[in-house]
Structure 1
């Protein structure tokens, strides 16, 4: 792997469109999740943020990170296809973990979509283990539930 240093920092408010485009390029967006709303919500409070990594004058990677006061979570971990294989995924995850540890959070949970099998090996290489859990969800806004779009 040709690892180069990624300049990681908090996202600026004028970069919402660029980050949303990165997520689209990585196949992370879904019709029922407005990326702009997700970004706005993450940037509102002290318990969450969005970190971006710059390379070659572009936003090449991102991670949304936050905590509930007990456990940390990451979402939208992304590296633009043009920048893969340089260690940027590992670097944004290290930054997310550091952000959480600086706030006293000692465990990070993450969810992987079942169809996203290739990413499980990536997280395993970073030291993450599969833990037996049942993930449950409730759509608080039924209009966002893709099952109701039929």
Structure 2
């Protein structure tokens, strides 16, 4: 399915709007500084933040990163008043296209286990539980 939405690399003027979008979509947590996450993604050539805009400004985002083995999607966000219009699918497709161009053959993402709506959305796009446990540790 081809989207009518265009996604482009985030610009300096977009940062505050993207952070506000992530807050509106409940994607942020106190231990993750969204400004730092954006800055880190922009500073690393193996990652990016893509945004879609309309006349009101930024309405969707996706962060994509390629670790040399797999591609990852983060911060897939759609303005709450535009949900259901195909913009989430378009964001995922934009992130996947960026990762494909970077050399990734597989895309993964993490969803909080309590977020049934997001899990259902990704399952409808062909994503499946990978039967793995994600472990982490702060450095």
TM-score when normalising by structure 1? 0.88
The total of aligned residue pairs comes to 138
Structure 1 stretches of 4+ with a deviation exceeding 3 A read: none
Deviation for aligned residue 1:5: 2.3
**Structure possessing the higher radius of gyration over alpha carbons:** 1
Match of 2:36 in 1: 37
Match of 2:61 in 1: 62
SS in 1 for 2:19: helix
Deviation for aligned residue 1:88: 0.2
Match of 2:112 in 1: 113
Once residues 62 and 54 of structure 2 are traced to their aligned partners in structure 1, the CA distance between those partners, rounded to angstroms, is: 15
Q: For 1:36-74, what per-residue CA distance to the aligned partner results, in whole angstroms no more than 9, with x for missing partners?
A: 000000000110000001123421100010111110101
Once residues 116 and 103 of structure 2 are traced to their aligned partners in structure 1, the CA distance between those partners, rounded to angstroms, is: 31
Once residues 56 and 84 of structure 1 are traced to their aligned partners in structure 2, the CA distance between those partners, rounded to angstroms, is: 17
Match of 1:148 in 2: none
Once residues 54 and 5 of structure 2 are traced to their aligned partners in structure 1, the CA distance between those partners, rounded to angstroms, is: 6
Contact 2:10 2:51 in 1 (8 A): yes
Match of 2:74 in 1: 75
Once residues 21 and 56 of structure 2 are traced to their aligned partners in structure 1, the CA distance between those partners, rounded to angstroms, is: 14
Contact 2:66 2:102 in 1 (8 A): no
TM-score when normalising by structure 2? 0.94
Once residues 87 and 100 of structure 2 are traced to their aligned partners in structure 1, the CA distance between those partners, rounded to angstroms, is: 20
SS in 1 for 2:102: coil
Once residues 114 and 55 of structure 2 are traced to their aligned partners in structure 1, the CA distance between those partners, rounded to angstroms, is: 31
Structure 2: which 5+ residue stretches go unaligned? Answer: none
Superposition RMSD on alpha carbons, in Å?
1.4
